Amino acid sequence: MLIFNLLLKMKKINYSLSVAAGLLMFNTSCSLIVEPPAEISAEGYWKTENDAFLGLNACYAQMQAMDIWDEMTTDNAHSHKPWEGPYELIQQDGISTEYNQGYGFTDIRIFNNFLEKVETVNVSDELKARMRAEVRFLRAFSYLNLTSKFGKVPLITTVLDYNGPLLQRDDVEKVRSFVLSELAEVATILPKSYNDSFLNEKGRITQGAAHALRARAALYFGNYAEAEKSAEAVIKSGTYNLFTISTLNAAQQKEAAELDQFIDFKEKGIDKDAFVKGLFSYEALWHKENATPSNPEYILTREFMAQDDNVDYGRYIYMRPSQLIQGYSSYEPMQDLINAYWDIDGHTLRSVDQKSREAAFAKITAEVDGLDQKGYIAKVSGMNLKDQEYIKEFRNRDSRLYASIIFPFKGWHETDFGTFYYRWNPKLAGVDGNESWSGYSYRKMVSLTPYQNEASVEDYPTIRYAEVLLTYAEARVKNAGWDSQAQDAFNKLRSRAGMPKAPTALGQPQALDLIRNERRIELAGEGHRYEDIRRYGNDYASKVMTGATYAPNGYLVVNKAWSERLMLMPIPQSAIDLNPTLGQDQNKGY
Amino acid sequence: MINRFGLSFFVGKNSRLATIMMLGILASNQVSAKIILPFDNIIFQQNITGHVSANSESIAGVTITIKEKPTVSVSTDSNGNFSIPAIKGQTLIISAIGYTTKEIIVDGAIANIDLSTSNQALEEVVVVGYGTQKKVNLTGSVASLDLSTVQNRVQPNLASAIQGTTPGVTVISRPGAAASVNIRGRGNLGASSPLYVIDGAISDGTVFSNLDPNNIKSVSFLKDASSSAIYGSRAAYGVILVTTKKGIEGKMSISYSGYMGYRSPTYLPKVVNSTQYAELMNEGMFNRDPSKGMNQAYSIEQLEKFANGSDLDRYPNTNWFDLALDKNVPTTNHSLNFSGGSKKVNYFTALGFNQDQSFTPGSKSKKYNFQTNLSSEVTDWLTIKGNVNYIRNQGDVTNGLPSLMNFLIAPPTMVAKQSNGEWGSIAGGQLATQTFLNANPLRAYSKNNWSNSTTENTIYNLGFDLKPIAGLILSGQGIMNRYEYKSKSYVALQDEVKNFNTGAAIPGTGVYTNQMSMDWRSRQRMQFLATAEYSKTIGDHDFKGMVGTSYENMQYQALGASRKNFPIDGLNDLNAGSIAGPDITNNGGMEDNKLLSYFGRINYTYANKYLFEANMRADASSSFHKDNRWGYFPSFSAGWRLDQEDFLRDVSWIQNIKVRGSWGKLGNINNVGYYDYFQTYAIFPAYSFNDQAVTGTKESKPANKGLTWETVTMSNFGLDASFFQGKLGITADYYIKETNDILLAYNTPIEVGLEKNPSQNIGSVSNKGLELTLTHDNKIGDFKYQIAVNMTTNKNRITNLGGSDNMISNGGDKIRYINKVGEAIGSYYGYVTNGLYTQEEIDAGQYYRFGRVPNAGDIKYVPQREGVQYKEEITGEDRAIVGSDVPTFTYGINLNLEYKDFFLSVFGQGVNGTSVGFESEQVWALFLNSAPREYHLGRWNMANPDPAAVYPRIYGGSSLDNYNQNFSDFQLFDADYFRIKTITFGYALPKTFANRIKLGGAKVFLSGENLFTIRQDKKMKDFDPESSTGRGLGALGVKSIALGLNVNF
């Protein structure tokens, strides 16, 4: 018994000890090493050509596409959805520091990081310099946008420590000269075009883009000599042309036939073929197969494709009216912009009294009241629109009006849902969230190539040749007056639009007025109006940004108000909270 | 020889028993074999039979030992009966957990023993980290849950059920959100959730919430450093220990409990009727453009049609909540368990089922709980244990489901279905907007969408106890904790809405692309645990020591896929979808984390009077760079049982007085990312060239190789006392909790350009609080009652932010919080207001500009800077702390009444000092197309130009409203409340009668949840005071009433 017990005891002790020791050893021997499974370790990165390619792609992802949002803070357009941004607040001089109108530096950091890190990559110096030039271009672009909005901004060209000293804003002049000198320098490095091989993809930033952006920047800065010089470099390069079409498709032909309701071609001495092709050339330059870097008018292209991560919602659901599938009408052009489209003579402006417009609109609306959509299409397509009082306002106008704006009763046959006549319901202004409240919707830039019924896959011309021509004309007038060079550039746009040439004898102020209005028309919806009304000066801005804008039924779209503080946007409180020194250097009036 | 052998064996056996007793291992495990050895004198032996009861209830599992022959030990069966071979004159020791041990001398063949007079509190055993401890010997602050407060409740969520039961444990049970548990205040600026340990397995709040209360033996809340330091780097915010039930030796006992009842919303938004809606719309447009008069949106004739209901197709009055919400949905719960055991093997097996429906029809959730706990004494020195705990949550939706927000967006001016049977298409006489058409909740139900998801949590727990020598127990445990989530959902095609006026389909209102998505996520936590425990008593000196080690490896994987464009609806497999490039998506996810730990504890007790304890844990985590990997977490505590001193021993009204104190250091690893110390580049789909996608890489969050634990240093002073034979019980704790090295996303200026701010160990927060529980038990004739009151105050202060002061964070689109030195976490940071402007003030120029110039009826923002002149701009400097969303005082009251066979229990819970912030649809009339509510009828307007109106002038959701939407105290609503969380009335079958019909016991009860609420808010009124800050209406609060039944066989 005793022996048995002792044995038992020993057995259980041995057993227990070995189990305990085993467990202890097992645990101690376990490794604590883990590796990040989905990210690349920084050590050993930035060595190969492919590393640089991937880093560069991240920089391209920051490139600006459509810029319509700024437009809605001006007299061109409106958004009735306050939750989408403080657009109407700005139009009404109601912006406060609670809103951020684009004060951000994440893209700048990505650019600076690339510029720093690409140095260690094993590629030729030439390629390295070119890749750096592409990114320096993007950085200069971001700084142009920043200084346009906020004036003084901190100029950052290195990757900052997160706990480094708080930065002050740098002088406007310093930022501006940085933008101009960088763009001048990269223009000497970047190639005119790419051969479309790996790392030389066609859509990359070119020398032309650098000159063109520099021309834009210099114009915004009021540096007309440099603006002319850079714009001229683009023009003289011979690389770019305004986009034109030579034949019309069936839908376009159908609309062309209907245009007789709107244009008295004979009486006005207008070449119908040129006018119609002008209209559709202007419209089609954003569409379908034309929307690629190969388009001769595209100087800088933001590329999109049929893939969730890289599509453009703005040009599809947000821009379309609710009558076109899925439309939100979040961005709507206003009467002020309609008023800016030339008479078909190309130099006079129309004005219709609001009360008469309301009366005329009520009359024509009564004629289609109660019709269903089919009945409406049947009715409108057979209607004698020509003699309708309301339609008179839209008769014999600049071809770009028809390509840019859908106004009530106008037909558009090339939509992705076929024939469409715009039927604006005045009773929904101020009530219905997805109906335009201004009476108008965009047609220009609205994508015809949907992705999953909600987004656009069409590439977007971030900089197009038309802008360069306008920049050149304006700068040239400032520098040398309304001479033949200015007129040549200007008339290229008229010729494409199928519109008459500009008058030849104009004084400098008249020529400037002409160009400014042409610019407003040609570039409508592309975001330039924000900078333009400011660089034309406080008086100009104050004039155009004061007073009420109404819809055709008299609904108050917005009661515009201006004060000088709006020349710049406030440094947002969210930035001041993180960098209190900015609070001592707030823009005036905030 | 024989004697010596026998003696030594007895001593070993005895001390082992004693050890177990002292450790207080659960009663079920405590029952040991009765070993009759051949040298026992069988001749004199006779069988004594008896019955053990307390409060006239039979008690199962009571241990009866013969004092003179400690090896002889039996336990009572489920009816409280026992039989033991004893001889006259011997003494029986009758001991059971929760009762004072009794001794009786055998003087006959039958012994009936009543244990009722004992004071439960004194013998109560609580589970502590890696062991158990007698409550009287605790030196740390450990609260154990009285499980009777959570059983019999119509609350399938355990975390919600413990709300208010335990001082120092704050449960926030927001409608729709998982209940969050916080022990002793928020110590950091991220998550402050406790560590959950279920039968030794590291688990999480979700599993805890889904446990079946009927399967739980005990829940302990380790609140101070001394009790939780043994869990080291994850114990900073306390530990919740759950022990599930074990089988008890004896014949099988079957127990059923269940309820069936109804659930309904606590509060529903009170939306306006269509006439009021139209009037408010008119008023908004008038306020924006007075020149066009009062009827810009709706004419007088239209308003009349809304009011008289003469054209319900075009001018209806729809209340979507009444129409499309199930306000009474059934709830059911069944729980069945089998337990029992032989001498060597015991078992506990439980099945549970719970089913709830959502208020939005077609959506159901089910919960299954399967559990089995087995334990087998293979030899007298080896016990093997195996537990499996499986919880399955299942969500099924058989149709399209509108978000609750859609009930606020669909306007009262639209019908759900037109009189021709088509879906509503007209709102207020006009073709309704797409937003409204698509928001129609009834139409959403008609979709052929479906989805189902299952979440499975399984804990496999295998272990053994080795007892090689007296007093020493070696335990090993291997635990696999698996979480698996699978979901599959389908969006079906849907026809377009037809225009009621024309019959034409309305473009954009259909669903044109169908899509199926599948999602799979899996997390497994492998855990190996070994402990050695030794205890020894020498005279008045009791020693106990424990050392252990554990290793954990957590691995997470995810996979998601979807396809679009199925040829027809009604197919169930992903393979049926289109394989065209843009129609297919897939995604993954992966994480890996490891933790190695060593820990130990020493207890020393002198003469049951002076108690000491020391703990130590060392943790190494893979989340840290190898140079900073190890963390050390010590704690010390001491207690003094005054009642054991001679000068108090004979004071008859004092049963127990103990003072205790503790100090220790804990860690918090929860806010550290698994890979934060690596500097990496993130890979993302960046761009495309020539319609070919290209990948991009960009710098991730800056690495911090020096990252380390957040450390919590906590001191605790406590008092436990019991007076007047248990009529008054007091537990009080005061704690000082300092959290240092708090990981903060450093306040990085926007100019630096980081997308994610780097984490730094820079912050410090202090929490000081008082926790008090008072209990009163009494009996007057047949009437018994028990009152327990608990309350907690916590004062939270940020003491250091490492130079990164004033950290402002978003609590929504506009709602802001601030972390500021000297202030509490959870402070709202916004503008200060003082009512609304009057026309006189505006006319007199006595206003401040804020973006725009205010109008009469707009909110009056008050500058916080000195010397701001009228007409000057309100700026960010004018913000201040305007409230807090963390209560400063929480309390609970528990009342139990019994009269004969009837019982009533009421449990109430309340919070003080907190407010809730709302924005968007929840508070702004007509903003984002939302329907206004009765709250908005109290607005300022020309007819009611009250500067103290509850809502400012309305502008119809236009940008003029933006002025009034700057986050201010105007958007805060008092969230203080006192709520009767549960009230239960029941009847228990008399014991004798139950036994006669072969039942161990039976009771029926009627129970209600959240039936009564007293609230502070007098402003908005139609929200649940437990709602979370933000846009609101993500979910509704729930009240319920159910009939329940408990039966034991």
Q: How many CA atoms lie within 13 A of B603 on its CB side?
A: 26
Model confidence at A28, pLDDT cuts 50, 70, 90, reads low
Q: Do A322 and B434 touch (CB under 8 A)?
A: yes
Tokens of A568: 């710049």
Q: For residues A521 and B571, give the distance between their C-alpha atoms in angstroms, rounded to a whole number.
A: 52
Q: Do A304 and B292 touch (CB under 8 A)?
A: no
Residue spans of alpha helices (H) in B788-831? none
User: Is A154 touching B (CB cutoff 8 A)?
Assistant: yes
**Which whole-number Å values give the CA distances from A359 to A144, A262, A390, B1023, in the listed order?**
45, 20, 8, 47
To the nearest whole number, what is the mean pLDDT of chain B? 88
DSSP B321: H
pLDDT for B85-95, tens place per residue? 887 778 888 87
Q: For residues B640 and B23, give the distance between their C-alpha atoms in angstroms, rounded to a whole number.
A: 19
pLDDT for B462-505, tens place per residue? 999 999 888 899 999 999 999 999 999 999 999 999 999 888 88
Number of Cβ atoms within 10 Å of the Cβ of A321: 22
Residue B1031 to chain A, least CA–CA distance (Å)? 13
Exposure letters B777-788 (e unless 16+ CB within 10 A, then b)? beeeeeebebeb
Model confidence at B10, pLDDT cuts 50, 70, 90, reads very low
A372 interaction partners in chain B (CB closer than 8 Å): 499, 501-504
3-class secondary structure, B215: helix
Phi, psi (rounded to 5 degrees) for A398 = -50, 135
Q: Do A162 and B532 touch (CB under 8 A)?
A: no
This prediction has a pTM of: 0.88
User: Is B688 touching A (CB cutoff 8 A)?
Assistant: yes
A93 vs B646, more confident: A93
To the nearest whole number, what is the mean pLDDT of chain A? 93
Q: Do A325 and B507 touch (CB under 8 A)?
A: yes
Please name the residues in contact with A319: beta carbons below 8 A apart, sequence gap of 6 or more: A68, A327, A330, A331, A441, A442, A445, A446, A447
Through-space distance between the first and last CA atoms of chain A, rounded to whole angstroms: 97
Residue A222 to chain B, least CA–CA distance (Å)? 27
**If we measure between CA atoms, which residue out of B162, B142, B159 comes closest to residue B150?**
B162
Q: Are B575 and B598 in contact (CB under 8 A)?
A: no
User: Is B1014 touching A (CB cutoff 8 A)?
Assistant: no
Residue with tokens 């409108």: A380
Q: Do A94 and B963 touch (CB under 8 A)?
A: yes
Q: How many CA atoms lie within 13 A of A378 on its CB side?
A: 5
Q: Is B770 exposed, middle or buried (0-12, 13-18, 19+ CB in 10 A)?
A: middle
Residue A257 to chain B, least CA–CA distance (Å)? 27
Residue B296 to chain A, least CA–CA distance (Å)? 9
Model confidence at A24, pLDDT cuts 50, 70, 90, reads low
For strands B541-564 and B584-606, give the pairing: antiparallel
Average pLDDT in the B161-186 region? 77
pLDDT for B282-333, tens place per residue? 999 999 999 999 999 999 999 999 999 999 999 999 999 999 999 999 999 9
Residue with tokens 């808010």: B1017
- B195 forms beta bridges with B239
Q: What's the sign of the alpha-carbon dihedral A275, A281, A286, A288?
A: positive
Please name the residues in contact with B394: beta carbons below 8 A apart, sequence gap of 6 or more: B365, B366, B367, B368, B452, B453, B454, B455
Tokens of B255: 């127990």
A96 interaction partners in chain B (CB closer than 8 Å): 850-851, 873-874, 966
User: Is B586 touching A (CB cutoff 8 A)?
Assistant: no
Q: For residues A472 and B530, give the distance between their C-alpha atoms in angstroms, rounded to a whole number.
A: 81
Out of B502, B589, B693, the one facing A305 most closely (by C-beta) is: B693
Residue A532 to chain B, least CA–CA distance (Å)? 23
Average pLDDT in the B762-777 region? 91
**If we measure between CA atoms, which residue out of B341, B467, B445 comes closest to residue B398?**
B445
Out of A9, A95, A110, the one facing B851 most closely (by C-beta) is: A95
Residue-by-residue DSSP string for B891-925: EEEEEEEEETTEEEEEEEEEEES-EEEB-GGGTST
User: Is B755 touching A (CB cutoff 8 A)?
Assistant: yes
Phi/psi-derived region of residue B112, left when phi > 0, alpha when psi is between -120 and 50, beta in every other case: beta
Tokens of A552: 């055709």
Tokens of B363: 């959506």
Please name the residues in contact with A50: beta carbons below 8 A apart, sequence gap of 6 or more: none
Residue type, B750: I
Please name the residues in contact with B573: beta carbons below 8 A apart, sequence gap of 6 or more: none
Q: For residues A582 and A579, give the distance between their C-alpha atoms in angstroms, rounded to a whole number.
A: 6
Q: Do B748 and A19 touch (CB under 8 A)?
A: no
Number of Cβ atoms within 10 Å of the Cβ of B867: 6
- CA angle, residues A545, A69, A564, in degrees to nearest 5: 30
Phi/psi-derived region of residue A446, left when phi > 0, alpha when psi is between -120 and 50, beta in every other case: beta
pLDDT value at residue B29: 35
B626 interaction partners in chain A (CB closer than 8 Å): 32
Model confidence at B73, pLDDT cuts 50, 70, 90, reads confident
Q: For residues A187 and A183, give the distance between their C-alpha atoms in angstroms, rounded to a whole number.
A: 6
**If we measure between CA atoms, which residue out of A363, A407, A406, A403 comes closest to residue A387?**
A363
Q: Where are the beta strands (DSSP E) in B496-609?
A: 515-538, 541-564, 584-606
Please name the residues in contact with B749: beta carbons below 8 A apart, sequence gap of 6 or more: A166, A167, A575, A578, A579
Out of A12, A322, A427, the one facing B468 most closely (by C-beta) is: A12
Q: Where are the beta strands (DSSP E) in A211-316?
A: 298-302
Q: Are B139 and B636 in contact (CB under 8 A)?
A: no
Residue type, A66: M
A87 interaction partners in chain B (CB closer than 8 Å): 959
Mutation site for B-interface testing, chosen from A163, A170, A369, A421 by largest number of B Cβ within 10 Å: A163
Residue with tokens 């402050």: B192
pLDDT value at residue A138: 98
Is pLDDT of A204 > 80?
Answer: yes
pLDDT for B341-373, tens place per residue? 988 899 999 999 999 999 999 999 999 999 999
Number of Cβ atoms within 10 Å of the Cβ of B429: 19
Q: Do A325 and B550 touch (CB under 8 A)?
A: no
3-class secondary structure, A209: helix
CB pairs under 8 A between A and B: 341
pLDDT value at residue B859: 98
Is pLDDT of B506 > 90?
Answer: no
Task: Using a pLDDT cut of 70, give the percent of chain B over it.
Answer: 93
Average pLDDT in the B546-552 region? 94
Q: For residues B1003 and B215, give the distance between their C-alpha atoms in angstroms, rounded to a whole number.
A: 18
| Selected residues 409-428 of chain A with any CB under 8 Å from a CB in chain B | 417, 425, 427-428
Tokens of B940: 């300022």
pLDDT for B972-1019, tens place per residue? 999 999 999 889 999 998 878 888 888 888 989 999 999 999 999 999
What chain A residue is nearest to B599 in terms of C-alpha separation? A24
Q: Are B339 and B250 in contact (CB under 8 A)?
A: no
What chain A residue is nearest to B380 in terms of C-alpha separation? A12
Q: Are B235 and B737 in contact (CB under 8 A)?
A: no
Residue type, A397: R
* Range picked from A552-561, B178-187, B918-927 for highest mean pLDDT: A552-561
Exposure letters A220-258 (e unless 16+ CB within 10 A, then b)? bbebbebbbbbbbbbbeeeebebbbbeebeebbebbbeb
pLDDT for B1018-1049, tens place per residue? 999 999 998 888 887 778 899 999 999 999 88
pLDDT for B643-697, tens place per residue? 888 888 788 888 889 999 999 999 888 888 899 899 999 999 999 999 999 999 9
**If we measure between CA atoms, which residue out of B212, B193, B213 comes closest to residue B203?**
B193
Is pLDDT of A223 > 80?
Answer: yes
User: Is A83 touching B (CB cutoff 8 A)?
Assistant: yes
Q: For residues B381 and B378, give the distance between their C-alpha atoms in angstroms, rounded to a whole number.
A: 8
Residue with tokens 């049947």: A378
- B552 forms beta bridges with B527, B595
